[in-house]
Structure 1
Amino acid sequence: MAEGVQYGLSEEKERRLGMARSGALQGIRRRLVGEPMFKRFGDNQDSFASSSELAPTRLGMAVEEQWPAFKLVGFGFYYAWIWISYNSNVLVSPGAAYLPPDTISQTYLFSTLALSLALVALSIGRRFTERMMNRVSVAVVASLVAGLATVGLYAASAPEASGALLVVCAVLTGLGTSVIVLRFGIIYSKVSARDAVMYTAASFVFACMIYFVAIGLPAPAGMVIAALLPLMAVVSTLPNAEFAVEEGALPERASRSANMFFVRLLIAVAVFSVVVGVARGFAVPHSVAANMNAEGAVIVFSSGVVAAALFLLVGLLRRNFDVGRLYYPIILVVAACILVTPLVGGAAFGGQFVTVGYNCFVLVIWCLLAYVAYSSRLSPILVFGLGRGASALGTTLGWMVGLALVRAYGETGLSLEVVSVAMVFALLVVSMLVLNDRLIGEALREGSKVASAPDAPQGEGDEGVEARGGAAEFPADAEPSAFEERKPGRYQQRLSAVAERCGLSPRERDVFELLVRGRSIDYIAQNLTISFNTAKSHIRHIYVKADVHSRQELLDIIDREGE
């Protein structure tokens, strides 16, 4: 008996050793072949859906189903923080109210400089950034750092406070909000151009409302609201399940035309931001912190009115809205405002018009970045990291140059007219030669074709599907033989029953029916006219609601439904 037990234990030990050797050989084979450690969603759905860290919660999905726009309009929390921080005296202590606005200037410069450098660094290290974006804890910590640093800015604005505290807090706000920018960039990369315009415009209107609430409250209540806004922005992104889908994606295979358009867009954003920064730098010496609420109210209200009008205009249009139509009008408005600035002596009044134009430009550029990420193979982290980074870096450098010129030479020694004409000339050159409305229109039309076209030829078997990340266990055009034996009527009833019991939304039911037929993610996206990443998001929701980890388990549920 003892020998039998010993023999059984020995056999079990050999079996485990064999499994260990097999696993080790598979690991070596992966390293030799070069198989990536992180697979795409379609390539490894089992391990992906079972991750408790990455899987969306049912509460989060319930919020998303009841109010799917929450994660998009939540962008307004972030922009409200920007407007409150840089267009009001909410973060200025009462003792510094009538001092020159050096505190706001230094805060803006150090914060935006840290933001731009962080975004560029995160976009360059995209693999690391993808894993970081997947961690909710990282986003929450980043928002808390930005919120606490906002409180620190209020304390650092006191006359007796140390200047080092101001610099440290300003840098921390830039570093913390860089994570928020990329999270919203990932979300906006999943929507069409029309939806991006509408939700961005709605976010601006929402931010406008928050701004006026914050400046209308007595101190320090407004500061508390501003400190909570980064956390609220992150909370609004939590119901979204798109972040984990991006991890381990294959390298970008964007077309040459898409790459060239993105480079042109970056150049235009950088030049425009520098020009606006110089114009805003001219206006800094003409204002004091006590007047910033009145000046900022004009800027924010005007920006909100433009955003509301744009929201209504796009909402009334039944066809897709060409965001490129807004490009030239904004260029002309900003150019006119820059030319008006010398007529008012470089006063803050002229800077207000320039800032309103810049806010409108940011709205358009954010939508263009969203569409580039939506319609091309470029990573949204790369697109929004470099795009928003170029904008922040350009305004920072321009602000520094404008402020330095005015302080060094004064308005009498330096002709504002010459500088204004030079800036307008730079805008016109960029808008006509580097990035014009024709190039934007062509890029949008080409992007529409790319977004609606399949990524891989259908019907080429498993290899053709998996090579482009399409999913799964069946060829793209092949269906399981067991399906052919089932009666369509009864099987459709099973599908409806499973979908009803799992609480699938109408769009998820459409994806569900194609998924169980063995269709790839590419095919589902093309057939339902949705983006590749949106299709992956719906599949992920289906797995969570059905409490399964693979397509096979989903098919087993359908089979049990008929028993």
Structure 2
Amino acid sequence: MAAEVVRMFARWWDNFQESCDIRLAAGAGCAAAWVLLVAVSPVLSVSPTLTVSGPSWRPCVAIGAAVAFGAAAITSNPRILKAGRALPHLPLLVAGAALSFAGVVLHHSSDTIAITVIAALCTGGGLAALVLGWVPPFASIRLRKRVVGTVATAFAGAVLYLLVAMIPSPANLGAALALLVASPLLAAQINPPDAISSAAVPCAATPLRLFGPELSAGALVFGTLFVLAGHVLPDIEHAWMASPVPGMINVALFLVLETALTLYMVRRVRRESPTVAYRPVIIFAALGFLLLPFVDERGALLCMAISFAGFGCFLVYFWIVMGNICQHRHSVPIPTYGFGLFLIFVGFLIGETACQVLYSLPHEAFSYAATISILSLFLLVVLAWSMTDGARFAQETAEMGGIPFVMDGAAAEKDSAEHDSDTSADRIAQAAILYNLSPRETEVVELLLRGRSIPYICDELFIAKSTAQTHVRHIYAKMDITGGRQELIDRIESADEAQRPSPPPTA
């Protein structure tokens, strides 16, 4: 059993190295860790987030980031961004790191309201630039590599966050600021992204039309839910923000959930699909809010972590899907991602406003925590209703060699295509029995009959190139094929004939 597990991880590592540039995952992971430190860590600030007594650092960071992401979304206008011209990603990373660095240093230099607001706006703008700087390398690659790269970035970001959070103060602040330096340095070492954004004419559709009402609503709702989960016990929020434990629990649970989803994707689904993260996110977010009215303060901390894990998985899903939208609609990546992340941060601000209102209301019939729970569960019901077909956003486009990306629904056409393939599937199954093909070899045969290349088979089945070539050799040897794919088709058809029952003998 142990040897099998070791072989599985060795095979997975081999496939990972072929699918993802480690420098990309590490560099983007530094940016992800910085975002987590800004959001849920006392390393950068211990000020409470609920702005009952005046402007607070983190809500102002959200405002600065929302403004920056909104400005990036505006550049989708062809009058501003000429055809064939894309925003540079490396200067964005450098500018983002510099702004974030300046904002944090300024925040620690003074606690006056004016300095706090200016420092937060600088940090928020820098955070947005740092995130957008990693958009072109992700948006320019195929779905399989983007899934692997995004998941690897999430892992790297969570691990780096936990490492920085465990360092004693004030050394942890220096380690956090080092992430800002490492991210652009690693970006400078990777190969330039493919010229998808530069080859595509900016899409004439508005950003809202690119995303559609369902996906846009999902981004707003999850942004709101993230803030609601962070304000479940506002009376002791200051103590929570001064301790590294709540943030570490949040990120650790997210890491556990993402690991479980990744193992399920690799072992059971056997292909990289952001759809794997779509359904569990709503369940986890709902579970945290459902348990909230029935637990004490420590239990509320766990409920917050459960909901945070669901939100983190939604961000992984959302990041991948935005790349699908870029490749399908030929939209410029940075403005497209900018609009999607703008929706997330607008959701943050809506959540902050909702918490302010709910906290100021009298709570005679329901406690504040119960009110947050009821509101959040209602929003999740609305989200589930509006995104019942949300998995379609995760499909691979025809340009990427996969299932066509559908913006307005074409379930009937998809069902028809699946019905037409039933006969071929039956023939392949019969050939697998006749020639003793393994389940993986059967999957390779199916792709070969569809005219897929070896690189595509590697992407589709999450296997290395050498593994795919070995499967093809074994298939041809078992089926005694020497004439290529045409002979493979003949073998499949002859297997179909061989499996048919012979007619009864005539008298």
Matched AA of 2:102 = L
Give the 3-state SS of the residue equivalent to 2:215 in structure 1: helix
Q: Please name the residue that 1:536 is paired with.
A: none
CA offset digits 1:153-201 (Å, max 9, x no partner): 3334xxxx31211111111111112122222222211233333332222
Q: 1:389 aligns with which of 342, 350, 354?
A: 342
Distance 1:318 1:106, change over 3 A: same
For 2:366 and 2:21, the matched residues in 1 are separated by: 56
Displacement after TM superposition at 1:133 (Å) = 3.0
Q: 1:332 aligns with which of 283, 286, 299?
A: 283
Q: 1:193 aligns with which of 118, 132, 143?
A: 143
Distance 1:73 1:308, change over 3 A: farther
For 2:157 and 2:89, the matched residues in 1 are separated by: 26
Q: Which moved more, 1:109-118 or 1:306-315?
A: 306-315
Displacement after TM superposition at 1:205 (Å) = 1.8
Q: 2:273 aligns with which of 305, 322, 330?
A: 322
Matched AA of 2:343 = A
Matched AA of 2:271 = N
Matched AA of 2:109 = A
For 2:20 and 2:313, the matched residues in 1 are separated by: 26
Judge conservation of contact 2:43–2:172 (CA < 8 Å) in 1: yes
Q: 1:361 aligns with which of 314, 322, 326?
A: 314
Q: Please name the residue that 2:71 is paired with.
A: 121
Matched AA of 2:95 = V
Judge conservation of contact 1:268–1:430 (CA < 8 Å) in 2: yes
Matched AA of 1:452 = G
For 2:273 and 2:45, the matched residues in 1 are separated by: 41
For 1:362 and 1:219, the matched residues in 2 are separated by: 29
CA offset digits 1:84-109 (Å, max 9, x no partner): 2232221247xx8xx89879992221
For 2:49 and 2:350, the matched residues in 1 are separated by: 21
List aligned pairs for 1:459-478, cutoff 5 A: none
Q: Please name the residue that 2:159 is paired with.
A: 209
Judge conservation of contact 2:136–2:334 (CA < 8 Å) in 1: yes
Q: 2:243 aligns with which of 292, 298, 317?
A: 292
Q: Please name the residue that 1:399 is paired with.
A: 352
Give the 3-state SS of the residue equivalent to 1:282 in structure 2: coil
Matched AA of 2:62 = T
Displacement after TM superposition at 1:135 (Å) = 6.6
Distance 1:339 1:140, change over 3 A: same
Matched, 1:183 2:136: no
Judge conservation of contact 1:282–1:406 (CA < 8 Å) in 2: no
Distance 1:141 1:203, change over 3 A: same
Which one has a bigger Cα radius of gyration? 1
Q: Please name the residue that 1:34 is paired with.
A: none
For 1:84 and 1:331, the matched residues in 2 are separated by: 24
For 2:120 and 2:245, the matched residues in 1 are separated by: 23
List aligned pairs for 1:132-211, cutoff 5 A: 133-134=87-88, 136-156=90-110, 161-211=111-161
Judge conservation of contact 1:133–1:139 (CA < 8 Å) in 2: no
For 1:272 and 1:122, the matched residues in 2 are separated by: 21
Matched, 1:246 2:161: no
Displacement after TM superposition at 1:269 (Å) = 1.1
- Structure 2: runs of 5+ lacking an equivalent: 1-16, 403-451, 458-507
Judge conservation of contact 1:123–1:381 (CA < 8 Å) in 2: yes
For 2:138 and 2:54, the matched residues in 1 are separated by: 30
Q: Which moved more, 1:291-300 or 1:409-418?
A: 409-418
- Structure 1: runs of 5+ lacking an equivalent: 1-63, 454-524, 531-563
Displacement after TM superposition at 1:140 (Å) = 1.3
CA offset digits 1:388-425 (Å, max 9, x no partner): 11112202320332144224536877564354233312
CA offset digits 1:232-272 (Å, max 9, x no partner): 22223223423876347413268x9x946544211211123
Displacement after TM superposition at 1:316 (Å) = 4.0
For 1:92 and 1:369, the matched residues in 2 are separated by: 31
For 1:423 and 1:336, the matched residues in 2 are separated by: 11
Q: Percent identity?
A: 19
Q: 2:375 aligns with which of 403, 422, 434?
A: 422
Scaled by the length of structure 1, what TM-score is found? 0.60
Judge conservation of contact 2:96–2:126 (CA < 8 Å) in 1: yes
For 1:391 and 1:247, the matched residues in 2 are separated by: 26
Give the number of equivalent residue pairs. Answer: 384
Scaled by the length of structure 2, what TM-score is found? 0.66
Give the 3-state SS of the residue equivalent to 1:133 in structure 2: coil
Distance 1:149 1:323, change over 3 A: same
Judge conservation of contact 2:221–2:383 (CA < 8 Å) in 1: yes
Q: Please name the residue that 2:29 is paired with.
A: 76
Distance 1:317 1:343, change over 3 A: closer
Matched AA of 2:99 = V
For 2:23 and 2:304, the matched residues in 1 are separated by: 33
Matched, 1:267 2:221: no
